[in-house]
Amino acid sequence: MKSEAIPAILKKYKLKVTPVRIAVLRVLIDSDTAMSHADIAQLLSDQHFDKVTLYRTLSHFTEKGIVHKVATEDRSWLYAVLAENNADIATDKTHAHFICDDCDKIFCFPIDEGSGQSVKSMKKGFLVKELEIRLHGVCPSCQ
Ligand SMILES: [Zn+2]
Ligand SMILES: [Zn+2]
């Protein structure tokens, strides 16, 4: 993705363009896996952003829908964008998460619309807010 594209995405989501936002969004777009706050902080360590600013940036991105959160198997949060669709980063709510059982990396997988609607019927009294499909297996670099 070209450098000019990142500020354009921020503007589209009505976010002020700041160096930390550009840096975080670039890291997430360039990564094909979901990343933790610590992963992102480490990749940006030479730029000396403070940790709180990074947290705030990630939560802003999540609120705006540029980024979505994925829970790891041990219940911590990772952050991801769907980078294959650069023209519109908005994350499709019905996509699958592939979890590599060897390296624990999590990848976002686009899926056909409607394929998540295979739950036969909703149980009475349950309010579904989001559907998450999780796939387990071995990623290409662990094979
Ligand atoms: Zn792996
Ligand atoms: Zn995802």
What is the reported pTM? 0.81
Which ligand is nearest the CA of 70, by number? 2
Give the number of the ligand closest to the Cα of residue 35. 2
Contact 17, 10 (CB under 8 A): yes
Inter-residue contact 89 to 82 (CB < 8 Å) = yes
What HEC string does 3-31 produce? CCHHHHHHHHCCCCCCHHHHHHHHHHHHC
**Residue 134 Cα to ligand 2 middle (Å):** 10
Contact call for residues 132 and 108 (beta carbons, < 8 A): no
pLDDT band at 36 (very low <50, low <70, confident <90, very high): very high
Q: Report the relative pairing of strands 95-100 and 106-110 from DSSP bridges.
A: antiparallel
pLDDT reported for residue 128: 78
Lowest-pLDDT choice from 15-24, 33-42, 66-75? 66-75
Distance 20 CA to ligand 1 centre (A): 29
| Phi, psi (rounded to 5 degrees) for 45 | -60, -30
Q: pLDDT tens across 127-137, in order?
A: 877 777 899 99
Closest ligand to residue 94's CA: 2
Taking the centre of ligand 2 as the mean of its atom positions, its distance from the CA of residue 124, in whole angstroms, is 28
Structure confidence at residue 93 as a pLDDT band (50, 70, 90) = low
Is residue 87 scored above 70 in pLDDT?
Answer: no
* Stretch among 46-55, 75-84, 110-119 having the lowest mean pLDDT: 110-119
Per the structure, the count of domains in the chain is 1
Instruction: Put the strands of the sheet holding 133-137 in their side by side order.
Output: 106-110, 95-100, 133-137
Closest by CA position to 142, among listed 114, 100, 93: 100
d(C-alpha 85, C-alpha 126), whole Å = 33
Which CATH number belongs to the domain containing residue 38 in this structure? 1.10.10.10
Give CA–CA dist 34/85, Å, rounded: 15
Residue 45 in tokens: 């360590």
pLDDT category of residue 95 using cuts at 50, 70 and 90: confident
- 83 lies in which domain range? 5-142
